[in-house]
Chain A
Amino acid sequence: MMIELKSVKKIFNTDGVPFPALKDIDLILGRGDFAAIIGPSGSGKSTLLSIIGGITNPTSGTVIVDGILVHNLSSEQLSDFRSKYIGFVFQQFHLIPFLSALENVMLPLSITRKKDNEQKGLAMARLEDVGLKNKSHNLPSQLSGGEQQRVAIARAIVNEPPIIITDEPTGNLDSVTGEDIMNILTELNMKGHTVIIVTHDEKVASVTKRIISLNDGIMSFK
């Protein structure tokens, strides 16, 4: 077992008004799982993703990842957890605009003790994995949407995290490019990464091995 959520609730307080984003979520994902969390807008998908990814803690319930009680971690401990266990890929890529593709991929390594040469080597290898070795010096503005997303994937995996979490990875891409991205994610899953995708696109979800449905903060399985 890799990821276990038990009775997880998340309530947001907006101007004093409580809003329950997640209601009693129970979820188990194994090592090497390839799951899609699907649901309409406002269903709590991104919130669930952020709890699994250690970006935020649940209001109640437990989150255990690889034996670590994530829900008990402090803010700085969560940072370390994310650095070691989680690779994020966002819908809008979120590359740092003033860093080249190579430097963006090296970003997670900048807070490790790895030397510059080692960082460069690892980053170039990941760029090669996603087919962008020859664009390592390009700025994000000089890359297409698909290329930017591939750089984002390379950045997410450069630290060899066991879990890759993506939020609408093909949301801003055309269907052909989106298919390329899904192929890369599938390959990563085949290499042993646990891949969790949040999407509203049934077609994207169909590529995965498990589909988890979320509606008004309540989970169901397909």
Chain B
Amino acid sequence: MKLHNISLGNLKRRKGKAFLLGIGLTVGVAVVVAMTGITSKMKLDVETKIDEYGANIIVAPKSEEISLIYGGVQVTDTSYGIEELKDSDVLKVWTIHNNKNISSVAPKTIGSYKISDISYLIVGVDFDSEFLIKKWWKWEGERPDSEYDIVVGSTAAGRLKLSPGSKISIAGKDFVVSSILYENASQDDISIFMNMKTAQQILKKEGRVSMIEVSALCIGCPIEEMVAQIGEKLPHAKVTPIRQAMTLRMQTVNQLMRFSVAVSIVVVIIGSLFVLISITSSVNERTKEIGIFRAIGFRRTHIITIIMTEAFVISLLSGIAGWIMGSLSVSFLALQMLGIEGIFYEPGMLAISVGMTLFVGLLSSLYPALKAAKLEPLEALRYI
């Protein structure tokens, strides 16, 4: 027989009270896990949507000319009086101090070209970085994998009567349509995307870049600093951050996260009080029992050990149960609110849940345990 046998025996005897205390702690933990989980899912969702939104930073030549416009960038037919961007400028972007925050650098050489008397935008790209940055692109066909594969916007394809696999001749060169983009209500619809070197040849802009789209990895990255750093590397370029549209949404998410933290703190405080009151009530009911223990030679530390062991067992089980309940809640809420399927499974959160519950449970039980230990046997036995 050890002291923990006494603790476990008492929990078995007072199943109802132990269960109520456990349920209280479990629900508290579940609320904290659920709030933390769902706000982090929302944060991730917003960050993902920012990625899907495309570039955070646009690098373009400083220009006053007005011509065809792509992504807010002025596409000019002449190079007179303008210092254009070069192929080597693309590499310079990767050398900034915060280059670890860069997700993708997608250069473009843009120009207009007439096919059957209708002007279309020819956009020379690096397809790998372009597909990375344009996550909202949906297409019919295959991704281009050769120098003469092209991707055509929906409006352009309709006018030119193109479909995946069609052949088209542009500036005396034969191209194969690898894919047709679905309509996305942007200039992509009237664009023909091709290998950059090929586009530069057709547009007679060898080695020149019309604009560079830069995508930063996350919301927390220092966009303004990165803009300044790119500007330093490319003093002849106009570097512009694009964040306004997502700022409000992130403010909302951040407010929600702060609210989530506040609610979690309140839940923890209420949980602590609940444990304190429950254990104190339990100790009061066991005054006689404690008197017997003390009379037969139990020290104060033995009494404290018995009560704290009971608190430990309840807290441990509640932490685990609360994590399970909270995780299932997150999975359900993520599906309902964000359309995200799948079970929320964060093993790290289990350690935090159990740690937090043990901390709250043991700390709140300390006062009643000390109070019980201070009971003098004669005083306790008077209850007999």
Residue numbers of A with Cβ under 8 A of B are 50, 53, 55-56, 75-76, 79-84, 86, 88, 90, 92, 94, 96-99, 103, 106-111, 116, 119, 155-156, 159
Contacts and interface: CB of A to CB of B under 8 A. Distances in A.
Interface in B339-384: 376-378, 381, 384
Interface of chain B, helix or strand or loop or mixed?
A: helix
A50 B378 contact: yes
B100 interface: no
Given A82-B295, A84-B297, A155-B296, 6 more contacts: A79-B300, A83-B297, A99-B6, A107-B293, A111-B298, A119-B1
Interface string B299-313: 111100000000000
14 contacts: A50-B381, A55-B294, A55-B381, A76-B300, A76-B301, A83-B297, A83-B298, A88-B295, A98-B9, A98-B13, A106-B1, A110-B3, A116-B2, A159-B297
B254 interface: no
Contacts of A156: 296
Contact of A90 (B12, B289, B384): B384
User: Chain B contact residues (Cβ within 8 angstroms of A): what range?
Assistant: 20 to 34
A99 B9 contact: yes
Interface in B1-16: 1-3, 5-6, 9-10, 12-13
B143 interface: no
B283 to A, nearest CB: 15
Given A94-B288, A97-B13, A110-B5, A55 B299 contact: no
A76 B270 CA distance: 35
Interface of B: 1-3, 5-6, 9-10, 12-13, 288-289, 292-302, 376-378, 381, 384
Contact of B296 (A97, A98, A108, A119): A108
Contact of A108 (B12, B288, B297, B301): B297
B10 to A, nearest CB: 6
A47 B203 CA distance: 110
Contacts of A56: 376-378
Contacts of B296: 82-83, 88, 107-108, 155-156
